[in-house]
Amino acid sequence: MRAVIAEDNVLLSEGLTLLLSRAGFEVVAKVPDGEGFVDAVTTHRPDITVVDVRMPPTFRDEGIRAAIEARRLVPGLPVLVLSQYVETSYAAELLADAAGGVGYLLKDRVGQVEEFTDALARVAGGGTVMDPEVVAQLLTRRADDPVETLTRREREVLALMAEGHGNTELRHRLHIAETSVQKHIGSIFAKLDLPASDTGHRRVLAVLAYLNSVRR
Delineate the domains of the chain, giving CATH numbers in brackets: 2-132 (3.40.50.2300), 139-215 (1.10.10.10)
Burial of 168 (0-12, 13-18, 19+ CB in 10 A): exposed
pLDDT score for 185? 87
- Ranges of the chain with pLDDT below 50: 214, 216
d(CA 110, CA 69): 25
pLDDT score for 195? 60
d(CA 78, CA 63): 14
Which residues neighbour 107 within 8 Å (Cβ) at sequence distance 6 or greater?
Answer: 12, 82, 83, 84
Which residues neighbour 195 within 8 Å (Cβ) at sequence distance 6 or greater?
Answer: 189, 206
Cα-based angle 118, 108, 65 (whole degrees, multiple of 5): 85
Are 49 and 77 in contact by the 8 Å Cβ rule? The answer is yes
DSSP conformation letters of 36-88: HHHHHHHHH--SEEEEESS-TTTSSSHHHHHHHHHHHHSTT--EEEEESS--H
| Cα 177 to the center of its chain, rounded Å | 27
φ, ψ at 29 (rounded to 5°): -160, 140
